[in-house]
Amino acid sequence: MNLILLFDADFIDDTRTVVRLTGRRKEHVLSVCKASTGDTLRAVGLLNGKIGKGKVLTTSDKVLEMSVTLDAPPPAPLPLTLIMAMPRPKVFKRCIEAVTAMGVKRIFIIESWRVEKSYWGSPVLLEETLREHMLLGLEQACDTVLPSVEIRKRFKPFVEDEVPEIIRGTRPLVAHPYAENSCPRHVDGPVTLAIGPEGGFIPFEIGLLQKQGFEAVSVGKRILRVEHALPAIIGRLF
C-alpha cells in the first residue's frame, strides 16, 4: 500500500480536512508506516479525487484520526483501452490489479471461444470483488481514479456492433503469439489493445478483429501467460 486511499465516509468534519480510519488502513499506517501522533504521511488520496499529505492527529486501539491536505491531481491515465478475453479467475484478479496499477481506465472483459463457460459464474466478476482488486491496484500505484470495467459475453456482436466506435481515434492492436508483425514500441497516441485467453484468440476471432481494423502483433517467439503478456505489452507500447 503506497497510498492511503480515502472515501467520502471517512471525513468527520464539515471542512473535509479530518478523516477517521479503522481496520486495514489504520493498521498499515501504524504497523507498516510506523507513524505516530504528529507524523506526516506523504501519500493520501480521495477516491476519484486529488492526492496530498496527511498528518496523524490521534491514535487508539480502534481508530486513527488524521488531517489531510489534498491539492495534487492523480497520475495521468494511460491512453489505452483494453479488451481482454476472460482468463482463469485467479489470473483475472492479478490482471485487474496490474492494469489498474499501470493506469488503464477503460476495460472490456469479453467472451472468446477458448474461455471456459464456468468462468462467467466466478465471484471475481461481482462488482464488489472487482472494486476490491481495483482499489489494491490504485493503492499500489498512488492513483485514485477507478477504471471502468464492462463485461460482454458475446464475442461476434461485440466486435461487429461496438468495437468500431470503441477503436475510433485509436490504434487498434490485437496481441497474437503467431503474428508476423512485432508489437510497436513507444506509440504516440491512444491505443486499443485486444488480448485473448490462454492459447490466444482462434483464427476466426483474429480475422473478425482484423476486419474491423486491428493489426495482429506479437512480442516474440515466447508464448506468455496473460498475466505476463499484459505488463510486457503495455510497457512496450508506452
Secondary structure element (H or E) that encloses residue 27, with its range: helix 23-27
* Three-class SS state of 136: helix
CATH at residue 68: 2.40.240.20
Same domain, 64 and 86: no
- Displacement of CA 194 from its chain's centroid (Å): 15
Same domain, yes or no, for 36 and 57?
A: yes
The total number of structural domains that make up the chain: 2
CA distance 162 to 194: 14
The answer to whether 205 touches 113, Cβ cutoff 8 Å, is yes
Q: Same structural domain for residues 9 and 91? A: no
- The separation between CA 41 and the C-alpha centre of its own chain, rounded to angstroms, equals 24
Q: Which of 45, 72, 99 is the last residue of a domain?
A: 72
Beta-sheet strands, E only, within the chain: 4-6, 18-21, 40-46, 51-59, 64-72, 80-85, 106-110, 148-152, 171-175, 181-182, 191-195, 215-218
Query: Tell me: the pLDDT tens digits for 152-202?
Result: 999 999 999 999 999 999 999 999 988 899 999 999 999 999 999 888 899
In this structure, the answer to whether residues 47 and 105 fall within a common structural domain is: no
What range does the domain containing 36 cover? 4-72
Co-location of 154 and 204 in the same domain: yes
Residues 177 and 106 in one domain: yes
Provide the CATH number for the domain around residue 113.
Answer: 3.40.1280.10
pTM: predicted TM-score of the whole model, two decimal places: 0.94
Q: Which are the contacts of 17, defined by CB distance < 8 A and separation ≥ 6? A: 11, 67, 68, 69
pLDDT of 44-61, one tens digit each?
A: 999 999 999 999 999 998
